[in-house]
Amino acid sequence: MEKQPLLGFRRGIHNSENTEEKQTLITGAHDADVTVATERHYTKNLAFAIAACVCGSSFMLGYNTGVVNTPATIIKDFYNASYNKRQGTNSSKYLSTISISVLWATTVSVFALGGMIGGLSAGYWCNKYGRKGALLRNNLLHLISAALMYYSNFLNSYEMLIAGRLLVGICAGINSGAAPLYLMEIAPTSLRGFAGVFNQLAINIGILVSQILGLDSVMGTKDLWPYDLGATVVPIVIMLCSLPWCPESPRFLMLTAMDENKAEKALIWLRETEDVGEDMDEMKREAETQRMMPEFAFMDLFRNKFFREPLTISVVLQLTQQFSGINAVIYYSTEIFKTAGLSAHWAEYATIATGGVNVVMTLVSAFLMDRVGRRTLLLVGVGGLLIFSAILALSLILIKRMQSGLTLKLDIYGLFKITDIRVVWLPYLAIVSVICYIIAFASGPGSIPWFMVAEIFSQGPRSAAVSVSTMVNWFSNFTVGLVFPLLNELAIHQYSFLPFVALLIIFLNFIYRRVPETKGKTFEQISLLFRRPDMMVYESIIQQDSINTP
């Protein structure tokens, strides 16, 4: 098929000589999209930069997601006691059950609301101050939020706790956009997937640590829970002491700040070698292409057809992550363990153990990401989520029937009829489904949506696209957190996982048809994939990539 010029349709190209020159340049770039980048290995400096980045950003996102869950009952008692003290010394007035429920729902959901605000603004701060600069400046707001949550108990103010949760949500939203950007732009092409997974790995570790510290045998007590919430300052201090020693993103320095010398110095520090010519050449080519294009505006994400396709992929992947039902599974896991005969105490520890499985499998996926590929891991992971969520939904429905005194009847083609079956292993099937579900989620759908959006956009629209997809993720998180408990409380709660099964079928079909493989491709090469003039050709390229990728 004859190669088409990719930028010829752009406004502002009037001179025929210049147009021909630009067409030649981009046509040549088309030939480069099968080029394999030089494989690079991890360096100590790159590892240090990744650790410094995720410590005070991704880890804190996970920690603040789970920190209020375990000591929930104690915090609700604090709400009641604070209200009573405000009424006077001898007052017998307390909050009603409904008021406590509303306050608690606000405390939990306001974190996601803040995440939406922060996520949507992340691109602006990343472009204004740089990726590293945005992460560091965000910690000021983080310190304020930690102080509000810590001192709320001593000042008998649940309003301070809720305000602190809103601020820390805004911080988490900014971090969830800035951290993947920084990780993607400091890592070499051959290690982008490995580096990107560390964002989700740190989130999972943060959730696990918050669950452990929230146990009543650790810090989940009436006297210690404020310290549990205030402990967020520790990773912040670590980041403030470590990240300033790391360079700004080389791509930001080269393509946004237009400082080639600083970009080269940053690459030399990260790669621990002066042989960074290949990286510099790639960024120079992208800079040249960027100069030929009109200045990017936020609404171009929706107006420009070459941006709409990667934006659609980014948004759907974020929807897949949240509407896969992962938060619902974690929310329901303790009850599932109880149905298997575990006490409330041991069910709580079993839930923490599933968090450990999530951490381990996310780490394993990091080593597979640049070997197996993003697309393959997404297909396998979402396929696994579909299978095990269906098994889990069926198990819960059958368990409910058994708890209601009903029995199962087995009729095999009219040949064998057995009635009054008590399937004692159903709760254990549900437990196995939960564990396998967590493994499938950690294999790819958990981490890939965060960093793939930064891979499939060029430098100009990258920050804006990250903002939109991050906001969608937080909005989806908010929606699931609001809707699932309502479904669970209704008479149909045993069927509450079925909507996730239906959505996973749609998401799996979309990933198979529309998501390309980005493993081993430079940012420039990935961007060119979405500029094919014929989308049918584009889809065939995707399928061919999945066949040819080793």
Q: How far apart are the first and last CA of the chain?
A: 25
- E strand or H helix that includes residue 208: helix 192-213
Confidence of residue 532 (pLDDT cuts 50, 70, 90): low
The first and second tokens of residue 160, run together, are 């301070």
**Residue 473 near residue 449 (C-beta atoms within 8 A):** yes
Q: What is the pLDDT of residue 445?
A: 93
3 state DSSP class of 169? helix
Instruction: State pTM to two decimals.
Output: 0.83
Asked if residue 21 has pLDDT above 80, the reply is no
Q: What is the pLDDT of residue 72?
A: 80
CA distance 414 to 409: 12
Asked if residue 432 has pLDDT above 80, the reply is yes
CA distance 232 to 61: 10
Q: What is the pLDDT of residue 10?
A: 35
CA distance 436 to 443: 11
* Count of positions (residues) in the chain: 550
Three-class DSSP labels, 299-345? CHHHHCHHHHHHHHHHHHHHHHHHHCCHHHHHHHHHHHHHHCCCCHH
What letter represents residue 337's amino acid? F
User: Where are the chain's structural domains?
Assistant: 41-86+97-244, 247-295, 311-397+438-543
**Residue 107 near residue 161 (C-beta atoms within 8 A):** yes
Average pLDDT, whole number, for the chain? 81
More confident residue, 421 or 426: 426
Mean pLDDT (whole number) for 268-275: 92
Mean pLDDT (whole number) for 297-314: 86
CA distance 220 to 103: 19
Q: What is the pLDDT of residue 528?
A: 79
What are the backbone dihedrals phi and psi of residue 373, each rounded to the nearest 5 degrees, phi first? 110, 155
Residues in a beta bridge with 418: 410
Confidence of residue 539 (pLDDT cuts 50, 70, 90): very low
CA distance 145 to 64: 11
Confidence of residue 8 (pLDDT cuts 50, 70, 90): very low
Q: What is the pLDDT of residue 496?
A: 74
Beta strands in 196-291 (DSSP E): none
Q: What is the pLDDT of residue 65?
A: 86
What are the backbone dihedrals phi and psi of residue 518, each rounded to the nearest 5 degrees, phi first? -110, 0
Asked if residue 429 has pLDDT above 80, the reply is yes
Asked if residue 468 has pLDDT above 70, the reply is yes
Q: What is the pLDDT of residue 135?
A: 95
Q: What is the pLDDT of residue 262?
A: 94
Maximum average pLDDT range among 64-68, 170-174, 392-396? 170-174
User: Residue 388: how many CA atoms within 13 Å on its side-chain side?
Assistant: 23
Q: What is the pLDDT of residue 39?
A: 61
CA geometry: angle 40, 45, 50, nearest 5 deg? 90
What are the backbone dihedrals phi and psi of residue 120, each rounded to the nearest 5 degrees, phi first? -70, -25
More confident residue, 139 or 13: 139
CA distance 356 to 205: 8
- E strand or H helix that includes residue 410: strand 408-412
More confident residue, 538 or 465: 465
- E strand or H helix that includes residue 416: strand 416-421
More confident residue, 393 or 549: 393
Three-class DSSP labels, 436-462? HHHHHHHCCCCCHHHHHHHHCCCHHHH
Mean pLDDT (whole number) for 249-272: 92
Mean pLDDT (whole number) for 104-116: 88
37, 208, 384, 420, 517 from 349: Cα distances, Å: 45, 11, 25, 34, 38
DSSP state of 14: -
Percent of the chain with pLDDT strictly greater than 90: 40
Lowest-confidence pick of 31-45, 90-104, 347-361: 31-45
Q: What is the pLDDT of residue 411?
A: 53
The first and second tokens of residue 386, run together, are 């579909």
User: Residue 170: how many CA atoms within 13 Å on its side-chain side?
Assistant: 19
Asked if residue 14 has pLDDT above 60, the reply is no
Q: What is the pLDDT of residue 416?
A: 46
Mean pLDDT (whole number) for 243-261: 92
CATH class of 41-86+97-244: mainly alpha
Whose structure tokens read 């869950």?
69
More confident residue, 10 or 262: 262
What are the backbone dihedrals phi and psi of residue 294, each rounded to the nearest 5 degrees, phi first? -65, 155
What are the backbone dihedrals phi and psi of residue 152, each rounded to the nearest 5 degrees, phi first? -60, -40
Asked if residue 364 has pLDDT above 90, the reply is yes
Q: What is the pLDDT of residue 117?
A: 93
The first and second tokens of residue 454, run together, are 């930064």
**Residue 434 near residue 335 (C-beta atoms within 8 A):** no
**Residue 383 near residue 375 (C-beta atoms within 8 A):** no
Q: What is the pLDDT of residue 474?
A: 92
Lowest-confidence pick of 249-253, 307-311, 495-499: 495-499
Q: What is the pLDDT of residue 374?
A: 92
Does this chain's domain 41-86+97-244 share its CATH topology with 311-397+438-543?
yes
Cα 531 to chain centroid, rounded: 27
Helices (H) and strands (E) in the chain, counts: 24, 2
Q: What is the pLDDT of residue 33?
A: 40
DSSP state of 420: E
21, 36, 278, 528, 548 from 31: Cα distances, Å: 16, 12, 17, 10, 17
The first and second tokens of residue 488, run together, are 């669970």
Q: What is the pLDDT of residue 102?
A: 81
Asked if residue 275 has pLDDT above 60, the reply is yes
Cα 240 to chain centroid, rounded: 23
Per-residue pLDDT tens for 180-195? 999 999 999 888 999 9
Please name which of 452, 477, 470, 447 lies closest in space to residue 124, comparing C-alpha atoms.
470
Asked if residue 363 has pLDDT above 90, the reply is yes
Q: What is the pLDDT of residue 175?
A: 94
DSSP state of 408: E
- The CATH number of the structural domain formed by 311-397+438-543 is 1.20.1250.20
